[in-house]
Structure 1
Amino acid sequence: MSYSSPAVVIDNGSQTTRAGFASADLPSLVYSSTYSIDPSDPKKVIIGDDERDSNPQNEVMTLIDNGLVYNWDNIIHNWQYAYDNLDASSPIDPKEFPLMLTEQPWNTDKNKLAATQLAFETLQVPIFSLVKTPLAQLYHQGKSSGLVVDLGSGITSVTPILDGIVQSKASFHSKYAGDFISLHCLNYLSQQVPSLDYLLPKPFVNNPTAQLSASFKNFQVTNRVVEDFKYSMLSVSEFPANNPAAHAALQIQSKNFYLPYGKTIPVANEQVNLLEPLFQPSAYPLPNMTLPQPIFDKPSTQGLTHLILSSLKALEASIIPQAILENTANTSANSSHHARFNDILRELLTNLLITGGGSLSAGITPRIIDSVYKSLHQYFPNYLFTQPGHLHIATIQPASINNLDWDKKFGSWLGACNLASMLNGTGSSGNQEDNSVNIALDNWYVTKSDYEELGEDLILEKFK
């Protein structure tokens, strides 16, 4: 059977939640992935940007850490907010709509079961699905194989996907992402003003008597002023900072950043220097924060280029037996294995998807391509394809350049919608189910009746 009601798609990110009907072109709701508690009524959880700003005395708390939901007591309020506001701020009944959520490749079995339980037992949705974020992002671009580099707010991740299968052993992530850059920006801005209050956005600047909690102040400064600073002032240098001669030769014209209360801050070399920590995090210490020492075989301690190359190296190890990797002398015995990985490497590098809100920073795509290009032949010396002069790296481009911002900001939500829409297929005969519906049910969804009959084993098998 096909379903007349469109699926509801909710994409919980570290900074914002995107929600809407799968039949829509863009999410109808984009709201903060934070919440607060009403002190007078501890059972009242406040979700939504307007609601949060109307209660500045409340502490602002998070639901997502390391790219995963960790606050299961209150994530249900985040999802319920979507149902209450999806239809032009009118509530809809979860029982009448399939639900699809996104998840990261490193999501735990415990989390999968918790999400499914809330969906079926609390919301009582008829059908439920979890789809991996990088897979949805790649599918949205019409590809089934590629290397997805997602520069998000809380997490930077690199995920190889081959024929629609996420290569989990080669999927790596780190916390050197948008929030990490925000800390560097906040550190710089704080040195230019007497106190954090000078960075508060309107109307809080104009209402000094308002009681603002510490976490509310931090949220407003970071998510309003610092975000504006990042995307209006910063760009990625063509030359890395560890190339002093080239970096010093950059002709950087000073800009002025306007603070909410009128003061301007000159921004010169910081326009490029403040994004360098993405590539060399340990070279840019932060006050009152101890960064882990970079370790070669721990990608999460390294910068962006190393994270990408480590992912490809791990993929090689998962495809080619270790004995062959260690014994390169017997070329005839090894040639077929290396030829296979050479083809895979070629396919991934010519289908490189750089996405996420952080990928909107000017200059970041050519910098990633250049840094990977210059290092690949050192990591993979046995492959002709990675020798200088033979290498070609191509990023996946959106169908329309006008959709660039939307594809990068909402790519996982849009891709999930592509998959969720398969449920609404109509067959050529009224007595036959459309193939797309069968595929969706078999591969992406669990029905409430199957959940009640087969339980946890079905969930872990379906969403592995």
Structure 2
Amino acid sequence: MSFEKPPVVIDNGSFSIKAGFACDNHPVSIFRTIVGRPNYLHGSYGKEYYDVYIGDDAAVRVEDLELSHPVVCGRIVHWDNMERIWHHIFYRELKAAPEDRAVILGCAPTTPMQEKIKCCEIFFEALNSPALCIQPQSVLSLYGSGFTNGICVDLGYDTTDIVPIFEGGLVNYAHIQTGLAGNQISDYIKQQLNDRNLGHVIKTVEDIERIKQDCLYVTECCAVTRKEYSKKYKLPSGEEIDISLEAFMAAELMFQPDLVKGYKTNYVPLHEAVVNSALKCDSELRTQLYDAIVPCGGLAMVPCITKRLADEIENMVGRPVTVLSSSEAYAISWLGGATFAGLPDANKMWVQKKQYEDYGPKIIRNKFL
């Protein structure tokens, strides 16, 4: 299916949302998936005029706003706010009319059919989009890496999803969640700093995200001295604090959660989850799956995580594996959407507005099952 103008690609994330045009090689806009309203309203919306802040505009006014997170654990939980964000993407971020643009929407692998139907309802009836294609973020991440077979390791903010992909389709019965994601790592860092009476360092979510981005690292071997991997964090005041322990242990949580926490947790170590997911698949597929393990999401940007993951998996399975690394792992799902838009075989995956008007939810179930 060819369109007069390049489709818009939107990657719906729990922490951040990425949007841009399929003709580009990078998202035009990346911002927080939050909507903020003045906290003096106390939920009494609609009785008086007020400003609504979206994304980073809401994040910088966190003390004055009541924040809503429309996407939680990959599921859309507040549809009015989600619609506001999509509207904001078209008119403020991309400056494009939605009635002129087909849309590729990346969703979580666990998204139920009713949620996909609701997405179609908003895009076709409220935004008047001419066509829509909903694809799992895990599949798009494989496309963004140039593969149709492999294992997607989606290291998100709310969930970590391990999903095998075969011939561009989810192997749903082998899907595993580790129970530990960016949110739990943030909580661990915050707790450790509080225990050291350094809680004043963390004033907003952005502060702890900055620590994760600047200081977090994974060692190829955990038997290193603190001196070799000293990490300091510079406060806005100019003061430097030593966070070597937090930077090391927080990332190590992904591989040795019970050891770091000091008690039995329900978290699945990352490498064990990948191997267990592959073992659920047919033995004939495992070679192809192990040859394309694709980490994506914000935590996939942690230095050395791909090398450590490859070493741990190889120690478990006794054979070489390929864990792909990317300097844009945080946006690889979006890049996959842009790639998918140009594939000839993708034509049959679009739902056109006229088809939706003629057949309703039935056509959505047929296309996006």
Residues 100-139 of structure 1: pairs in structure 2 closer than 5 A: 100-139=104-143
Alpha-carbon contact 2:36-2:58 (below 8 Å) kept: no
**Residue 261 of structure 1, CA deviation:** 2.1
TM-score (norm 1): 0.73
Residues in 1 aligned to 2:25 and 2:227: alpha-carbon distance in whole angstroms: 41
Q: Deviations over 1:220-258 (max 9, x none)?
A: x22x22122122222113235xxxxxx366753433211
Q: Deviations over 1:38-83 (max 9, x none)?
A: 3457245421313542563112221111122221121001101101
User: Residue in 1 aligned with 2:323?
Assistant: 395
- Find 2:351's aligned residue among 436, 443, 446: 446
Residues in 2 aligned to 1:419 and 1:253: alpha-carbon distance in whole angstroms: 41
Give me the CA root mean square deviation: 2.3
**Residue 284 of structure 1, CA deviation:** 4.0
**Residue 152 of structure 1, CA deviation:** 1.8
Residues in 2 aligned to 1:11 and 1:355: alpha-carbon distance in whole angstroms: 13
User: What amino acid is the match of 1:314?
Assistant: K
Aligned to 2:242, what secondary structure does the other structure show? Answer: strand
Residues 58-207 of structure 1: pairs in structure 2 closer than 5 A: 58-87=65-94, 91-193=95-197, 195-196=199-200, 198-200=201-203
User: Residue in 2 aligned with 1:310?
Assistant: 276
**Residue 108 of structure 1, CA deviation:** 0.7
**Residue 360 of structure 1, CA deviation:** 1.4
Q: Deviations over 1:314-338 (max 9, x none)?
A: 224xxxxxxxxxxxxxxxxxxxxxx
Aligned to 1:153, what secondary structure does the other structure show? Answer: coil
**Residue 305 of structure 1, CA deviation:** 1.9
Residues in 1 aligned to 2:292 and 2:196: alpha-carbon distance in whole angstroms: 43
Alpha-carbon contact 1:45-1:74 (below 8 Å) kept: no
Q: Deviations over 1:162-197 (max 9, x none)?
A: 11121111112234111211111111223344654x
1:274 aligns with 2:250: yes
Residues 206-225 of structure 1: pairs in structure 2 closer than 5 A: 221-222=204-205, 224-225=206-207
**Residue 161 of structure 1, CA deviation:** 1.0
Q: 1:350 to 1:141 in 2, by over 3 A?
A: same
Q: 1:151 to 1:226 in 2, by over 3 A?
A: same
Q: Deviations over 1:92-128 (max 9, x none)?
A: 3211111111012111111111111111111111111
Alpha-carbon contact 1:159-1:168 (below 8 Å) kept: yes
Aligned to 2:356, what secondary structure does the other structure show? Answer: helix
**Residue 313 of structure 1, CA deviation:** 2.1
Q: 1:129 to 1:368 in 2, by over 3 A?
A: same
Aligned to 1:459, what secondary structure does the other structure show? Answer: helix
Give structure 1 stretches of 5+ with no counterpart. 201-220, 241-246, 295-300, 317-340, 377-387, 398-403, 423-435
Residues in 1 aligned to 2:292 and 2:226: alpha-carbon distance in whole angstroms: 31
Aligned to 1:161, what secondary structure does the other structure show? Answer: strand
User: Residue in 1 aligned with 2:315?
Assistant: 374
User: What amino acid is the match of 1:225?
Assistant: D
**Residue 280 of structure 1, CA deviation:** 3.0
Residues in 2 aligned to 1:415 and 1:195: alpha-carbon distance in whole angstroms: 39
Q: 1:36 to 1:174 in 2, by over 3 A?
A: farther
User: Residue in 2 aligned with 1:458?
Assistant: 363
Q: 1:52 to 1:249 in 2, by over 3 A?
A: closer
Q: Deviations over 1:246-281 (max 9, x none)?
A: x36675343321112233211333332221221233
User: What amino acid is the match of 2:7?
Assistant: A
Residues 28-39 of structure 1: pairs in structure 2 closer than 5 A: 28-38=28-38, 39=40
User: Residue in 1 aligned with 2:299?
Assistant: 358
Alpha-carbon contact 1:157-1:171 (below 8 Å) kept: yes
Aligned to 1:37, what secondary structure does the other structure show? Answer: strand
Alpha-carbon contact 2:249-2:260 (below 8 Å) kept: no
User: What amino acid is the match of 2:26?
Assistant: L
User: Residue in 1 aligned with 2:7?
Assistant: 7
Residues in 2 aligned to 1:7 and 1:373: alpha-carbon distance in whole angstroms: 40
When Rg is computed on C-alpha atoms for both structures, the one with the higher figure is: 1
